Amino acid sequence: MSTPSKNRGQFQAQDKTIPFKGPEAIDSACLECFEYAYHNTPHGQAMEIVTTTNEFTSVCPFSGLPDFAEVKIAYIPDKRCIELRSLKYYLLSYRDVGIWYEHLVNRMLEDLVRACKPRRMTITITCNPRGGLASTVTASYDRETNPAL
């Protein structure tokens, strides 16, 4: 239900927030990896894996309304590759989580780097427009410049 705004005569929504979960509900424990048999070969050093989905959903931590985005995960593996079924479960765990995109991309990068310990990884989240604004958020990891992550 809307109430008239006293300032401009326009209607504005009452303060409403749909309940959602916090970042503790993100299930990074479900991530599984398998051994990359070619990690010691010249081909293993050059190979890049790119996984995308346009079905990613999380929740706006301000309103509780769903946010939709395309997620692109690009990485150069070292000894382990991310198993895709487990990645899908991991991404689904964000479905009811209220999280800012800027935090989401960094959390995802930390979880995936911990799971597979790649040489390099970049995660790009392209958010569906909301109110005429579209955002693209990117976070990157390079083991040579940041081995501690």
Q: Tell me if 111 sits within 8 A of 33, measured CB to CB.
A: no
Q: CB within 8 A of 66, min separation 6: which ones?
A: 57, 58, 59, 60
Element (H, E) at 66: strand 66-76
Which listed residue (30, 60, 96, 142) is catalytic?
Answer: 60
Residue 81 annotated as catalytic: no
Known catalytic residue: 33?
A: no
**Please, which residues have CB within 8 angstroms of residue 8's CB and are 6 or more apart in sequence?**
none
Which listed residue (67, 81, 111, 127) is catalytic? 67
Active site residues: 60, 67
